[in-house]
Structure 1
Amino acid sequence: MRRIDAIGITIGVFAAGGLIYLVLQVVGIDGTDAGIWTQAVLVGGLVVWLLTYLFRVMSSNMTYNQQLNDYEEAVLQKRLAEMTPEELAQLQAEIEQEKADRTDK
């Protein structure tokens, strides 16, 4: 996320808070109560965002992890593409041997 994106999101959250406040006042809720409900909605939104962030951290579904996995896969694909047919056959034989060793245990 770029800095301008973070600034835009921040301004959007403040604008949403102001809009919620105005809507609650138009509906007929007192200014103090509208402020309390607006804060409750914004704090609730913050808690939900925090929970989704913690879930992404615990499940390793962060942007850095995705980029690292994509890079590792690209490197392996490049190495696989550069292998000769003899090397591919040898690699396949090694993989089959490891599978056989695992099933024997």
Structure 2
Amino acid sequence: MTRGTSLVTGLIVFLLGGLGYLGFRSIGFEHFSAGIASQAILVLVVLIWIASYLLRAMTGQMTFMEQRRRYRASYAGFTGDILQKRFEMMGPLEQEDLLKEVRQAFPD
């Protein structure tokens, strides 16, 4: 969630509290009771929101984590293609020399 989205979400929650209060007042609740009822509903909404956040965090399905997975997959494919093309552009002797260096650097 971006900073702007979180600010808009906070504003929406704030407005929902006011609308809830007005709604409870319009159906006959007194001032005090309407305030308590709207606060109770907002607390319930926030608790559900926090629970969903914790669930996404524990299962690894956060927005940043998903973006990072997609980026890494596309980056690996992109760089793999580039390296393959560069390797194919080398002459046979250069390819052999490179393979020898790689085998020395990363023995089995």
> Please, what TM-score do these two structures have when normalized by structure 1?
0.72
- Equivalenced residue count is 86
Residue 72 of structure 1, CA deviation: 1.4
Deviations 1:37-92 (A, max 9, x none): 111100000100000000000000112211221121012211443326xx9xxxxx
After TM superposition, the structure 1 = structure 2 runs for residues 20-99 of structure 1, keeping only pairs within 5 Å, are: 20-82=20-82, 83=84
Letter in 2 for 1:16: L
> Which consecutive unaligned segments of at least 5 residues does structure 1 have?
88-105
Larger Rg: 2
Aligned counterparts of 1:8 and 1:71: Cα–Cα separation in 2: 27
> Which consecutive unaligned segments of at least 5 residues does structure 2 have?
89-108
> Please, what TM-score do these two structures have when normalized by structure 2?
0.70
Over the matched positions of the two proteins, sequence identity in percent amounts to 32
